[in-house]
Amino acid sequence: MGRRQRARHPLVSISPGMRKALREKRLSMGLTPFGLAGALGLDPHTVSSWENGRTDSCNEFNAKILNGFISGEYDKLPVFASKRQAAFRAGKESMKLISALAMDIATVFSLLPGNPTARRRFLVKLSNAVDAEPRQ
């Protein structure tokens, strides 16, 4: 008895335009590749590979899923609506944190009026912290 062969499905090419559209749509919805993959029922590395060009084709089934997401066909599904709302709430919370941080910085800076060296060091450290790569 030989090994059972899997049925081959025709492959559909993923164009650079589709890659760009996928990435832009995913980012506009506030999703990570892993979040999008979970919502669509795909492997997380599949979405990443599509976006990064490591994979230049997919089977017909995945092509339908990809096209449905890009075209907005799935926008009304609850999983995507809740992600958009969560991203909006996170944005509002981030603005509150930034505002509080700005007040703290102003307070610290006002405590250093007679020490230009300490002010300069403080501003350099703050600048370095702002320019640092965010951790994921």
Question: Domain limits of the chain?
Answer: 11-75, 93-131
- Give me the residues paired with residue 53 across strands: none
**Digitized pLDDT (tens) for each residue of the chain, 136 residues in all:** 556 655 566 898 999 999 999 999 988 888 888 888 888 888 888 889 999 999 889 888 888 888 888 998 877 776 666 555 555 566 666 666 666 667 666 766 677 667 777 777 777 776 666 655 555 4
CATH domain 11-75 topology: 434 Repressor (Amino-terminal Domain) (1.10.260)
E strands in the chain: 11-13, 57-59
User: For the chain, how far is it from start to end, CA to CA, in angstroms?
Assistant: 49
Q: What Å distances lie between residue 24 and 27, 33, 60, 62, 109, CA to CA?
A: 5, 12, 22, 18, 40
State the pTM of this model: 0.54
The number of helix segments (H) and strand segments (E) in the chain equals 6, 2
Q: What is the DSSP string of 41-74?
A: T--HHHHHHHHHTS--EEEHHHHHHHHHHHHTTT
SS3 content of the chain, % helix, strand, coil (to 5): 65, 5, 30
